[in-house]
Amino acid sequence: MSVVRAETVPVRVESDVVVVRQTVRQWATSLGFSLVDQTKLVTAASELARNTVVYGGGGSLTLEALEDGARRGLRLRFADEGPGIPDLALALTDGYTTGGGLGLGLSGARRLSNEFDLDSAPGKGTRVTIARWR
């Protein structure tokens, strides 16, 4: 499997979340994802971007276009240097929120993706990586 294209965009303020959604939609469209898959990717990205801004104090998103034989995919890596998540399983529980949300962003993003990885610890920031294959 290889990364054929990559780009990093800032995810610092609320208005960046809008830019993230637009950028992810553009990439997903140009990679030939169906409308449903585009919507899933954009929605997952929206969740993770907002978490990066709200809880992570801002960070970045790296988009990667993937190629694996005949398969095409899109990987999104969100990273922040915020406080980190003390209990990963708890954070991934439906309905768990420390910010008065629905508590469905992280778990929802996992369900909307083919691959999901959450790497975080107190004081170590948070990295969430998702991928979807076409």
Partner 1 sequence: MTSPSQARATIVPAVLERHAAELLDVWTQEQTTAGLTRGAAGDLRARSTEFLRLLQQATAETSGVGDLTAVHGAPFARVREFLGALSRQRAAEGATPSETAMFVFSLKRPLFVLLRREAADADRLADELWVATELVDRLGLLTTEAYQRGREEVIARQQQDMLELSTPVVKLWDGILALPMIGTLDSARTQVVMETLLQRIVETGAEVAIIDITGVPTVDTLTAQHLLKTVTAARLMGADCIISGIRPQIAQTIVHLGVDLADVTTKATLADAFRTALARTMQSVAPARHAR
Ligand X SMILES: Nc1ncnc2c1ncn2[C@@H]1O[C@H](COP(=O)(O)OP(=O)(O)OP(=O)(O)O)[C@@H](O)[C@H]1O
Query: Which residue in the shown chain puts its C-beta closest to Mg ion?
Result: 105
Here the tokens at position 53 are 């801004």
User: What does 64 bind: ligand X, partner 1, Mg ion, none (CB cut-off 5 to 8 Å by kind)?
Assistant: none
Q: How many residues does the chain have?
A: 134
Report, in Å, the least distance between residue 10 CB and partner 1.
17
Report, in Å, the least distance between residue 48 CB and Mg ion.
8
The nearer residue to partner 1, 83 or 101, going by C-beta atoms, is 101
| Contact residues for partner 1, defined by CB under 8 A | 14, 17-18, 21, 25, 35-36, 38-40, 42-43, 46-47, 50, 94, 101-102, 104-105, 107-108, 111-112
Report, in Å, the least distance between residue 44 CB and partner 1.
9
User: What does 71 bind: partner 1, ligand X, Mg ion, none (CB cut-off 5 to 8 Å by kind)?
Assistant: none
The nearer residue to ligand X, 44 or 63, going by C-beta atoms, is 44
User: What does 98 bind: Mg ion, ligand X, partner 1, none (CB cut-off 5 to 8 Å by kind)?
Assistant: ligand X
Strand partners for 75 = 64, 131
DSSP the chain: -EEEEEEEEEE-SHHHHHHHHHHHHHHHHHTT--HHHHHHHHHHHHHHHHHHHHTTSSEEEEEEEEEETTEEEEEEEEEE-SS--S-HHHHTSTT--SSSS-S-HHHHHHHT-SEEEEEE-TTS-EEEEEEEE-
